[in-house]
């Protein structure tokens, strides 16, 4: 995009929204925050832990609302969760959605979004938004980009226009979008990759993270939290000259852990990223084609070196059993395109696994898509009718299936939170993972 290199001189400082105080409503018998009243306005509150695993029940406060975790974030790459309106997202109780910096930078462009007062006002969504920095596009658009230490040179995937995103530009774009959580720019190594490549990529990602934090602080006049852990994980030194605010009055910035499938690189990345100091930490470079055991190992090799008092976010996955297994490994937040993408292919998620509603077996089926589900598709329509809509390529079929899948994912997180609150997460985990069966429809997702 023309003028991208000079974007820093053109962008306005994003508006810093007032924090919303965490709800004082008692959510469960043992769910009062494990902190003093004076700390009740802190960005992240750990409410309860599971004695049988690393599962956590917590609360993340942002400028546009409170997020109860574990939480799933529907993906709205281009300022829209496909086939869903903001009203419908609220009806299925989505707490936060995800947008993509690269795609919104390319189209509609920052001038348009700035004209409408930021991404929230542009898309009429009043809840929290997390924006990915464009790091995944560095991975997914490999044939159209060139990576240097300065940043990434793209050929715009729409019309081939040269585009450049650096760590500083990524933070400027995210500030203009006005997201509640901004991700740093990183490189996501492919799978498989050589150790030397993964190590060099990691070193650059760490350098980029430092630059992202510095630019974020400059943009927000030092108000951006970029918090340090008050109780560092074992073996992690406290970052030098930490800057944080006690209240969620600024755009939060999350660092990203990389390191491919190498355990020592994962630890190195986690420790270095925590040393810089961020408001939360994502585990990236997973679900890029690797087998599921390697994906789980990448998380297991990263999580122990992340601070317990900051949110943890695994990027770009996954299936319902994967999310439950990752909650058990200490993860708080997820995003994935599976529930919306597979809905458009005729696949529904149920507690028992996936169903391909295009199959002939459902032609005369009068039953609901899933017994006991409270979503509009299940309350009002039969499997036979939904199959008809899908086979006839009626848009209503795609919308109803998307509503159901998002409801299924979000309800799974609600049930996981309740299980942790009630001290029965171990049994809940066994039930969800043991009951779920795939039928060849679950795929490795993209962010």
Q: What is the pLDDT of residues 265-305, one digit of tens each?
A: 999 999 999 999 999 999 999 999 999 999 999 999 999 99
Bridge partners (DSSP) listed for residue 147: 152
Q: Which of 132, 186, 279, 309 is catalytic?
A: 132
Which pLDDT value is given to residue 226? Answer: 55
Q: Which of 50, 180, 186, 335 is catalytic?
A: 335
Compute the Cα dihedral for 89, 99, 66, 29 and give only its sign.
positive
| Final residue of a structural domain among 336, 351, 375 | 336
The span from the CA of 173 to the CA of 271, in Å, is 27
Which pLDDT value is given to residue 1? Answer: 40
Q: Is residue 377 situated within a structural domain?
A: yes
Does residue 125 surpass a pLDDT of 90?
A: yes
CB atoms under 10 Å from CB of 172, counted, come to 27
- Active site includes 335? yes
Does residue 138 surpass a pLDDT of 50?
A: yes
CB 252 within 8 A of CB 180: yes
Does residue 229 surpass a pLDDT of 50?
A: no
Q: Say which CATH number the domain at 202 has.
A: 3.20.20.105
> Which residue shows structure tokens 């464009």?
134
50 vs 102, which has greater pLDDT?
50
Same domain for 55 and 157, yes or no, is yes
Same domain for 243 and 324, yes or no, is yes
The beta-carbon contacts of 35-41 under 8 Å, at least 24 apart in sequence, are 39/246, 41/246, 41/247, 41/248
CB 82 within 8 A of CB 402: yes
What lies within 8 Å, CB to CB, of 111 at 6+ separation is: none
Which pLDDT value is given to residue 223? Answer: 53
Does residue 18 surpass a pLDDT of 70?
A: no
Same domain for 331 and 397, yes or no, is no
Bridge partners (DSSP) listed for residue 312: 281
Q: What is the pLDDT of residues 247-265, one digit of tens each?
A: 345 899 999 999 999 999 9
Same domain for 182 and 330, yes or no, is yes
- Active site includes 180? no
Which pLDDT value is given to residue 155? Answer: 84
What lies within 8 Å, CB to CB, of 308 at 6+ separation is: 46, 229, 231, 233
| Final residue of a structural domain among 309, 336, 363 | 336
Same domain for 249 and 372, yes or no, is no
**Beta strand pairing status for 152-155 and 162-165?**
antiparallel
Same domain for 201 and 237, yes or no, is yes
The span from the CA of 326 to the CA of 263, in Å, is 17
Same domain for 264 and 362, yes or no, is no
Does residue 164 surpass a pLDDT of 70?
A: yes
The span from the CA of 228 to the CA of 244, in Å, is 7
Q: Is residue 25 situated within a structural domain?
A: no
> What mean pLDDT do residues 130-148 have?
81
What lies within 8 Å, CB to CB, of 391 at 6+ separation is: 358
Does residue 96 surpass a pLDDT of 90?
A: yes
Which pLDDT value is given to residue 163? Answer: 86
Domain count, the chain: 2
Same domain for 137 and 273, yes or no, is yes
Which pLDDT value is given to residue 178? Answer: 97
Does residue 27 surpass a pLDDT of 60?
A: no
The span from the CA of 61 to the CA of 106, in Å, is 30
CB 315 within 8 A of CB 332: no
Secondary structure of the chain in the HEC alphabet? Answer: CCCHHHHHHCCCCCCCCCCCCCCCCCCCCCCCCCCCHHHCCCCEEEEEECCCCCCEEEEEEECCEEEEECEEEEECCCCCCCCCCHHHHHHCCCCCEEEEHHHHHHCCCHHHHHHCCCHHHHHCCCCCEEEECCHHHHHHCHHHEEECCCCEEEECCCCCCEEEECHHHHHHHHHHHCCCEEECCCCCCCCCCCHHHHHHHHHHHHHHHHHHHHHHHHHCCCCCCCCCCCCCCCCCCCCCCCCCCCCCCCCEEEEEECCCCCHHHHHHHHHHHHHHCCCEEEECCCCCCCCHHHHHHHHHCCHHHCCCCCCEEECCECCHHHHHHHHCCCCCEEEECHHHHHHHCCEEEECCEEEECCCHHHCCCCCCCCCCCCCHHHHHCCHHHHHHHHHCCCHHHHHHHHHHHHHHHHHHHHHHHHHHHHCCHHHHHHHHHHHCECCCCCCCCCC
Q: Is residue 444 situated within a structural domain?
A: no
In percent, how much of the chain has pLDDT > 90?
Answer: 75
Same domain for 68 and 130, yes or no, is yes
The span from the CA of 225 to the CA of 431, in Å, is 39
User: For 56-70, 210-224, 328-342, which range has the lowest pLDDT when averaged over its residues?
Assistant: 210-224
The span from the CA of 94 to the CA of 133, in Å, is 21
For the chain, what is the mean pLDDT? 85
Which pLDDT value is given to residue 438? Answer: 67
Which pLDDT value is given to residue 199? Answer: 98
Q: Is residue 26 situated within a structural domain?
A: no
Q: Is residue 445 situated within a structural domain?
A: no
Same domain for 328 and 351, yes or no, is no
Q: Is residue 410 situated within a structural domain?
A: yes
Q: Please give the residue range of the domain that contains residue 351.
A: 342-435
In 3D, which of 98, 269, 75 has the Cα closest to residue 189? 269
Same domain for 210 and 73, yes or no, is yes
CB 70 within 8 A of CB 416: yes
Q: Is residue 443 situated within a structural domain?
A: no
Give the predicted TM-score (pTM) of the model: 0.86
Phi-psi region of 445 (alpha: psi -120 to 50; beta: other; left: phi over 0): beta
Band of residue 157 on the pLDDT scale cut at 50, 70, 90: confident
Same domain for 294 and 358, yes or no, is no
| Final residue of a structural domain among 273, 307, 336 | 336
Q: What is the pLDDT of residues 344-400, one digit of tens each?
A: 999 999 999 999 999 999 999 999 999 999 999 999 999 999 999 999 999 999 999
């Amino acid at each position: 995009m023309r003028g991208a290199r000079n974007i820093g001189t053109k962008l306005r400082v994003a508006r810093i929204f007032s924090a919303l105080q965490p709800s004082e409503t008692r959510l469960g018998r043992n769910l009062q925050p494990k902190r003093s009243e004076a700390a009740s306005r802190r960005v992240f509150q750990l409410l309860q832990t599971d004695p049988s695993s690393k599962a956590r029940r917590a609360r993340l406060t942002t400028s546009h609302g409170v997020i109860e975790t574990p939480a799933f974030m529907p993906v709205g790459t281009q300022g829209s969760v496909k086939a869903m309106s903001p009203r419908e997202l609220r009806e299925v109780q989505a707490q936060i959605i995800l947008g993509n910096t690269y795609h919104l930078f390319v189209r509609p462009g920052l001038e348009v979004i700035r004209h409408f007062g930021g991404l929230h006002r542009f898309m009429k969504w009043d809840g929290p938004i997390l924006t990915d920095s464009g790091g995944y596009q560095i991975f997914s658009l490999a044939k159209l980009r060139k990576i240097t230490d300065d940043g990434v040179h793209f050929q715009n995937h729409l019309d081939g226009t040269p585009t450049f995103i650096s760590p500083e530009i990524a933070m400027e774009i995210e500030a203009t979008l006005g997201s509640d959580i901004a991700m740093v720019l990183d490189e996501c190594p492919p799978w498989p990759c050589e150790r030397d490549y993964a190590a060099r990529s990691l070193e650059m990602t760490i350098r980029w993270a430092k630059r992202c934090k510095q630019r974020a602080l400059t943009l927000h006049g030092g108000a951006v939290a970029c918090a340090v852990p008050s109780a560092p994980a074992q073996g992690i030194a406290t970052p030098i000259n930490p800057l944080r605010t006690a209240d969620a009055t600024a755009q939060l910035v999350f660092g990203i852990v990389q390191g491919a499938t190498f355990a020592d690189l994962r630890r190195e990345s986690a420790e270095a990223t925590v040393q810089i100091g961020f408001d939360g930490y994502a585990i990236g470079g997973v679900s890029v084609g690797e087998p599921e055991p390697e994906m789980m190992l990448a998380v297991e090799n990263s999580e122990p070196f992340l601070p317990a008092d900051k949110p943890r976010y695994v990027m770009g996955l996954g299936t319902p059993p994967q999310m439950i297994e990752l909650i058990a490994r200490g993860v708080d937040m997820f995003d994935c395109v599976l529930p919306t993408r597979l809905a458009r292919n005729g696949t529904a998620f149920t507690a028992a696994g996936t169903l391909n509603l295009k199959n002939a077996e459902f032609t005369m089926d009068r039953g609901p898509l899933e017994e006991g589900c409270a979503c509009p598709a299940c309350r009002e329509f039969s499997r036979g009718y939904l199959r008809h809509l899908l086979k006839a390529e009626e848009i209503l079929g795609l919308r109803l299936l998307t509503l159901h899948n998002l409801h299924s994912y979000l309800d799974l997180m609600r049930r996981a939170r309740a299980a942790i609150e009630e001290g029965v997460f171990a049994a809940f985990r066994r039930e969800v993972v043991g009951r779920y069966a795939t039928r060849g429809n679950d795929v490795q997702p993209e962010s």
